[in-house]
Structures are given as C-alpha cells and as structure tokens.
Chains A and B, each alone.
Chain A
Amino acid sequence: MATTTPKPGELLRGTLELLVLRTLLPGPCQGHAIAKHIQRTSEDLLKIETGSLYPALYRLEANGLIAAAWATTDKGKRARHYRLTAKGRRQLVGERSKWEAFVRAVRLLLDSAEETR
C-alpha cells in the first residue's frame, strides 16, 4: 500500500477547520487575511492552500459554525468577512480539547519509545 508522507506545512485532515475557527476567535476576518494570519502565526510553517481554504470556509458556513457578511476592508475594498457563531465557539472548544488530547497522546508515545530503547 502506498503511503503518503505529509510534506512540511501540509495539514492533517480536519485541522484546517480548527485553525480557521481559532483565527476567527478574536473577531471577524476575511478569507485572504485568514490565510495570511495562519501562515504568519505559524512562522510560515503552515502554508494554507487557497484551493482548500474556500471549500473549508463554505463547509463551515454550511454547517452553521461561522457566518459571513460583506464589509469594507480598512483599505476600502469590499470583502466577505467571516465571524464565529455560538455554535462555532462551542465547536472550537470541543475540537481544541480533542486536538490537545491527540497531541498529548502522540507526545507520550514518542517519549515512551525513547525511554524503552
């Protein structure tokens, strides 16, 4: 069976949604800025494929986790701004704890491997 090794910067499935929700936590933001924010905050380790960002945004919107509205940017252009809904907020909390549990589990495994050797 062929295995695909994730290249650096590629995201685990489902993680993008979590990151988008987290990015929107402080306040509304438009699509391009979301991508840039994730990229910058991760010190360019995570590069968001635009081709997956928008489907993810629309998926989140369709599921009622975020809401969108047209607004003018600080440069005076019209752009679609996304904000977290109450449901999205709950989702973020839930996903976040899941993610932390996952990270902890992975780390435990990796560390224990070191010890037994």
Chain B
Amino acid sequence: MTTWMRRIAWWLNRRSREETLRAELQFHLEEEAREQHEAGMTDAAWAARRDLGNVTLLREETRTLWTWTLLEQLIQDVRFAARTMWRSRTVTVVVALTLALGIGANTAIYSFMNAILLGALPVPDPASLVVVKWHAKRVDFRQPTPESAFVLHSIDGQVYDEGQGSVSRIWPFPAFERLQQAAAPMMASFFAYHPAGRLNLLASGEADVAQGEYVSGTYFEGLRVTLAAGRPIGSEDDRVGAPPVVVLSSGYANRRFGGAATAVGQSLQINNRPFTIVGVAPVEFYGVDPSVAPDVYLPLHIGDVSPDPNYYWLEMMGRLRPGVDAARAQAVLSTAFDPWVAGTATTASERANLPRLRLDSGAGGLDTLRRRYSQPIYVLISMVALILAIACANTANLLLARATLRRREMAVRLSIGAGRMRVLRQLLTESVCLACVGGVLSIPVAFASMRVLSALVVNGRESFTLHAELDWHVLMVTLGLSVACGLLFGLAPALQSVRPSVMPALKDVGSATFSRAPRLGMARISLTQLLLVLQIAVSLVLLVAAGLFLRTLANLHSIELGFNAERLLLMDVNASQAGHAPDQIAAFYANLRRRLAAVPGATGVTLSHASLIRAGRSLNIFVNGKQAQGERVLTVGPDFFTTMGVPLLQGRPVDERDVPGRPTVAVVSQLFEETFFGGEPAIGHHLALELPTRVDAGLPAGSQRIDIEIVGVAATARYGDLRDRTPPVVYLPYGQITFPPITQMTFALRAASDPVSLVPAVRRVVQDADPKMPMTNVRTQEVEIDRTINQEILFARLCTAFALLALLIACVGLYGTMAYSVARRTNEIGLRMALGASTAGVGWMVLREVCVLAAIGTAFSVPAALAASRFVQEFLFGVESTDPWTFGAAVVVLTVAALVAGVGPAQRASRINPMTALRAE
C-alpha cells in the first residue's frame, strides 16, 4: 500500500526529479573534473564524461525506476499514432468513416432491439409481473369449420398463431372474477384492462380524439405506479354507479391542461359523458403495451362489462407474491379455471379443444411489439453485423497495405534496439486509436440513423411510443466493439511487421525488390485477397437482399387496386361519440356528405364504414339459403362507386333513395357474382342477412333475417390488406343496416387537384356541422396505402442503403488494395513493359485480378445468399427468395462496381514509364 503511494508520489514529482538528477550528475561531473585536474589530467571534463558513460542512457535507466514507464510509453504511442494518422490522412479518413458507419448502424439497430426486445416496463419490480394467457389447438376464426368449434363465440382482441396452436391474452369477464379470487394466495395483485380505442374528448369547448384504456380498480395498485398528481383509479371507482373518474397520461395532461397539477379536479366529456380527472400518470408510464400508449384510463365498469362467458375481450395481469414461482401460480389458477371453462362449452367439439391457462413473464409488458418486430429486427441486425464485418475487413486490408509500406521503418526500429513487444504494442496502439476515432464518430452516425429509423418505423402510426434511446449500455457495447475491432484488425498487420528479419528490409530502399517482395509478400497477398473475397461475398448477399425487397415493394405498388387512389382525401368522423342519437346518425352523415360535396375543388364525396384498404367486416349472409363463406361487407353511402372510381358493370349503385324504411338493396362485386352465382347474372337475386334484433347486456337476444335485393354489380376492387387475397364483397347502404350500429365513418373526397389543399375547407365544414366532433386521421389514399406496406417500404429502403454502403466499402477496399499493389509492383510492371508488354496488356493484368477476385467472391456468395434468403421469405411478396433475376442483377451490379474500382489502378499501371520504374531500382 505504502509502496504504491510512494510510487505515485514519485511519478507525480517526475519533472522535478528529472531536474534533480540532471543537477546531481552535473555536480558529479564537476567534482570528477576537479579531481582529475588536480591529479594533472588534461581535458578532464571529457574524461569525466567518458567515465560517466552514456548520460542519456543513465537517465533512462534511472528513470525506469519510476515504474510508470508503461503509462508514459502509452502516451508516447498515442501521440505517435496521432502523428501517423495525420500523415496518412486519406487512409485514416476512409478507415474511420467506414468504421463509424459500421459501428453507428450497429448501435442504432442494437438500441432498437434493446427498446423492443429487452426493454422492461417502467414500474417497480417488473420481473414479478405475469401475463395470463390461454393456449389451445389451432383455432381458425376466419374459416370456421365444425371441427374447429371453440368456446370463444365472439371476440374483441387478437388470437395469435403459435407453433401448431393458437394463443391469446383475452378472456371473458366472468373468468376474470373467478381467477382474481383464485389468485389471491399466489399473487399480491391481479388486474384487468381492455383497450377502449379512440375516444372523443371534449374539454373547455375543444374536441379531440384520444386513445383510451379501460382498467380494473386494481390496475394502478397492481403495477405499483406512483402518480405524478392526484390519486389512481381504485376499486371504489370501478363498480356500476360510481361517479365517473379518469386518470390522464402525463403527455395528454400537459397538452390539454398545461400540466399534471392543474389537470387534477377538472372535468371533461368523453363520448358525451361527463368525467372528473382524479389523477395523472407519471411521465415514463405508457400502460402495459409498448405499442400503444393510452391518453386516458377509465374504470372498467364505465364501459359495457359483458357477462357473456363466451365473449373473449378482457386482458389480465398479476404480480406474484415474493417467493412464488410462475409454475406454481399457474397450477393454482388452472385448477380454478379448467372446470369453469368446461362449463361454458356448449357442444362436444367445443369440449374437445378447451383453452388452457398459461402464465408468461410480464416484465417487458405485452409482447405485441415483440411479435411484430422481433423477426424484422433480427434480419436487420444480421445485415448491420455483416456491414461491420466488411468495414473491419476493409480496415485490416488498408492497415495491412500500410504496414508493408512501413516495413523499413519497423526494421530500423528493431535494428537500433527496439524490443519486438514494444513495436507490436506501438502498432496495436495505432489501430486501437483508429478504431476509437471510428467509435467516437459513430455516435453522431448512430443518432442520425436512429432518428431516421424512428421516423420510418413510426411512419403514420398514431400513439406509437417506441422508447428507443441511445443508452449508455449501447454506447459501451459500441466502444467495446470498436476496440475489439482495433485489436482484431491491428493484430495481423502488427505481427507481420515485426516478423521479417531486419536485414533484407533494411536493404530494401523504398520500393519492392524482385527477389524478396513476392516471396515475403506471399502470406500477405493471400490474406489481403481473402479479405477482399470476403467483402465481395458479403456485399453480394446484401445486394441480393436489397433486390428481393425492392422487387417486393415494386410488386406491392403494382397491385391492381381496382379503384383510383389518386387525388383522394380520406378522414374519419365519429358522430355517435359526439353525442348524436343512434336513430339520427344516418341523417346527420347524409347531411354532412351533401355539405362536403359543396366544397370547391371536390368532384365527388362519399362515405363508408371504413376505407377499402382498412375494411374487414363480415356479417351472416345467406345466398340461396346457404351461408356464404369468406365474403366481406362494406356499408357505403351514395356516389361511392363514382367517387372511388370503381366501374359499375351492371344495374344501379347505392344512392340517395336507399334510406331506412325502404327495401334493403345491395351491390355485389364481380368476384362475388362469380363465386356465389357461378357466372350467372346476380342482378335480381336476393340475399338474406341475419342480424341480431337487439343487444341485451352484451348478449344478443334473438335474430331476424333481412331480405336484400341485388341491384348492381361492380368491378372487383381491393378490400383489406394488400397482401391478402381480395375477398368477394357485398356493398350495403350504411343507413339501412342497423347492426353493428353506425359509429365511425370514413369520408372520401375526390379532388380536382391536390387533395391536401382541400383540408382547411373540409375542416370548416365538419366543424360547422358539429363543433364537438373532431375530424381525425386525415390522409390521402396513397399515404394510407403506403402505411399498410410500411414494413416493406422500410425494409426495401434500409436494405438498399445497407447494400450500397457495403458495396461502397468493398469498392474502396478493392481500389485501395489494387492501387497499393500497383505501386508495389512498379518495378515489375516497368520491366514487363520494357520487355514488350503493351499498355493495354498491363491494364488488363490488373483488371483481371479484380475480375478473378469478384468471381471467387461470387462463387462463395451465391450459395450463401441462397441459404440466407430463405430467412426473409416471409417478408417477400410476389417474389421467390431464390429469384434468378434478382441474383443475376446483383452479380451484374457487383461486377460493374468492382470493375469501376479497378479502373483507376489499372490506368495507373498502364501509365508506368518503364525507364523511370527501372531506374528506381
């Protein structure tokens, strides 16, 4: 301990100590000189000095006592590295930039992975949270068959396919009541929630739309959320007849009320019902689903709590008591749940496939984001990892080339007594310095790429809260990565530098000699070529991926829509949430449509229950007494076919006559006619529509059949997701269908010119019609389509960018290596030309090497790309992962790029003057 203290003291005083030593030696010399002078020696000072020996060496030796030489040498090395880097600026810039791009891209993607796949809920002790799920044999709700009968009769939520079965988080309300009791000994708290969707919020005379979430009275307590202001929703608020209260998110409270404290106690109207704000959630809290952040939390019993045991909708989570493991809790809950759910089965086939309860970790909240993005993220991570590999190979190559140029310098150092370890350390310091510069530069690159990525991912999705931040862990990983890179690519050249015996390198004056260079260079050349082949191979893989995604995007864009998406403005309004009575909504919408039609610049206005791209509704429709399978329904207003540009083939469209009280009519799509009438004309035929007569406490009580006459046939147009097959569609007049009740409608305006220019006028009209009704989700049809293929666009853009980046890095590497090789072979080339080689021949010699490298790289890469592209098959549309055209195009692009990179060095080689080259020998 004291020794260390003393050593530090020594080191801190090293300057003054050096001075002391100098003075002391001075004194010694004088003393000696005086003595020898007295003894009668001439030239005493010189003799004294000779006697003392090498003063500098003496100082050095004395100094090694000060034990901090390692540190001092490190500082020296870093200084020297900085000077070397400055001297060869081009190499430094190229290396630092490629590393910065490689590391930056990795950091950005890793940050996203961190946020999406590894992020924990911002609540205390998230590890003790569990999500309650059920799983069963595969259930297909889209194509139900008698064998696939299931206790789930109606649904509001998601059921996912997982392996051979289905899995889901939604439950009937009675199951929640039962499980809450059963969970008490195992769980400290048990709570439920259900997305309330978009709500109409009216506060201080201003209406807007907010994301809502119904939560049980135990929700905030169970999550242990400390509110920013006020109190949470408690069990006393969550019962029928309790005064209606809400908790706001911090963001919403700030936006609408100017702060958490001022919001508490204020009142607001939600869907035309008065509420009191009792609390505001903390800033970091975003609910339990990272993909949707609610703006308002409402007590569960404010909404309709259906007692139907076959209606699945409510989600549940719990917090395990300390020391209880999930498996035990699951067993306890299952014993309560299994007999109950068996009692809800109505048929034998339902009893054959009962849902089984399962507890999953809830630490990261719900897995909606993970389900959606984990695979794309793994694909992206692999890509950026490949880019980093290329960048490292490139750097190694450039350093290798430079190390060979510095062979003489190293030989000189070794010959005048530098230790091999010392030289090795110097070289490693240089490459680590280089990597660190790259690492530091990568931080702004990462910030920029994350901003771009966020914009691309969020693109158009409302209330999407992805909390991707460049956190310090990610930064540390990056810096570690860059230092590891430095050591990795610094080691090979460094070892090579100190290996050659000193004499030949010393004799070698500048350029390479014939006898030595090729033999000495053998190992290096093959390593260089290996690295180049690797870069070319990886670039090709990325090019193929980019090609596949670009083709996917092109295919999606060229999908036959069947309607005209140009100059079409869409927006949503919800009159029922604004307080319009159910029997007046149809008339209100009809009136609004007439008013919008008067907006200057609008050539057509219509409405439907959803836009064609987002629609997805099916009702019980019977054709010739048989229930139609796979059909879809769109309720529309007048002028629908003319406004959307869907040609009407026969009969008449839905128009102003089709109002409640008159016979119900329908227009069917041509596909519907083909599917259900086998090519016979559908006009004049009748459909039967089975609708529930009234809904009692969530339970349909009785049903009625409505007779519908087909009055027209329209050309087949897209309906629903672009990637799905277009279904047969029935278009029904929105006013004549009483179920489901008319709520939100999507208006479509065809504009004469730019549709966005109509927005202010449209907004005025809507406000005029009802100031309490906000107009939401205003978008053009083209933007809406782009949003649905968001992921494909994202992939295509990112992959293209990555592939170009990889190609650029590989070409820079190719260029640098070839240029260096030409410089090194100046003598050889000069001699060849002196012996009669033509200029073209010499240029071709260089290009041939490039071609051979590219060919070998391609040969390695094509099988690898074939194998790797299988992993992206599910992201592709209309193109096979082994598409020969894409592979061909990628090879061509790569070859051209390689040749372009080789042209410069080839020209330089052909311009070598034999005389100059040989004279240099």
- Contact partner of A79 (CB less than 8 A), chosen from B24, B57, B62, B65, is B24
Q: Would you list which residues of chain A between 72 and 90 have a CB under 8 Å from chain B?
A: 77-80
Bound-state CA distance A49–B53 (Å) is: 9
- Chain A neighbourhood of B61, CB < 8 A: 51, 55
Bound-state CA distance A24–B66 (Å) is: 23
- Chain B neighbourhood of A51, CB < 8 A: 52-54, 57-58, 61
- Judge whether B768 is part of the interface by a CB distance below 8 angstroms: no
Interchain CB contact under 8 A, B65 and A58: yes
Bound-state CA distance A62–B24 (Å) is: 16
Interchain CB contact under 8 A, A32 and B27: yes
Bound-state CA distance A80–B19 (Å) is: 12
- Chain A neighbourhood of B31, CB < 8 A: 32
Interchain CB contact under 8 A, A62 and B6: yes
- Judge whether B652 is part of the interface by a CB distance below 8 angstroms: no
Interchain CB contact under 8 A, B51 and A80: no
The distance from the CB of A28 to the nearest CB of chain B, in whole angstroms, is 14
Bound-state CA distance A12–B6 (Å) is: 28
Interchain CB contact under 8 A, B27 and A78: yes
- Contact partner of B62 (CB less than 8 A), chosen from A32, A54, A77, A78, is A54
- Judge whether B622 is part of the interface by a CB distance below 8 angstroms: no
Interchain CB contact under 8 A, A79 and B58: no
The distance from the CB of B337 to the nearest CB of chain A, in whole angstroms, is 77
- Judge whether A50 is part of the interface by a CB distance below 8 angstroms: yes
- Judge whether A59 is part of the interface by a CB distance below 8 angstroms: yes
Known: A32-B32, A50-B28, A50-B52. A58 touches B6 (CB 8 A): no
State the main secondary structure of chain B at its contact with A: helix
Q: Would you list which residues of chain B between 29 and 64 have a CB under 8 Å from chain A?
A: 30-32, 51-54, 57-58, 61-62
Interchain CB contact under 8 A, A31 and B28: yes
- Judge whether B181 is part of the interface by a CB distance below 8 angstroms: no
- Judge whether A9 is part of the interface by a CB distance below 8 angstroms: no
Interchain CB contact under 8 A, B57 and A62: no
Q: Determine the residue in chain A with the shortest Cβ distance to B24.
A: A80
- Chain A neighbourhood of B57, CB < 8 A: 51
Interchain CB contact under 8 A, A54 and B24: yes
- Judge whether B737 is part of the interface by a CB distance below 8 angstroms: no
- Contact partner of B27 (CB less than 8 A), chosen from A58, A62, A77, is A77
The distance from the CB of B172 to the nearest CB of chain A, in whole angstroms, is 82
The distance from the CB of A96 to the nearest CB of chain B, in whole angstroms, is 23
- Judge whether A64 is part of the interface by a CB distance below 8 angstroms: yes
- Chain B neighbourhood of A54, CB < 8 A: 21, 24-25, 28, 58, 62
Q: Determine the residue in chain A with the shortest Cβ distance to B61.
A: A55
- Judge whether B877 is part of the interface by a CB distance below 8 angstroms: no
16 contacts between A and B (CB under 8 A): A31-B27, A32-B31, A32-B32, A50-B32, A50-B53, A51-B52, A51-B53, A51-B54, A51-B57, A54-B21, A58-B21, A59-B65, A79-B24, A79-B27, A80-B23, A80-B24
Residues of A within 8 A of B (CB): 30-32, 49-51, 54-55, 58-59, 62, 64, 77-80
Given contacts A32-B28, A50-B53, A55-B65, could you give 18 more A-B pairs where the C-beta distance is less than 8 Å? A30-B27, A32-B31, A50-B32, A50-B52, A51-B61, A54-B25, A54-B62, A55-B58, A55-B61, A58-B21, A58-B62, A62-B6, A62-B10, A62-B65, A64-B6, A77-B30, A80-B23, A80-B27
Residues of B within 8 A of A (CB): 6-7, 10, 20-21, 23-25, 27-28, 30-32, 51-54, 57-58, 61-62, 65-66
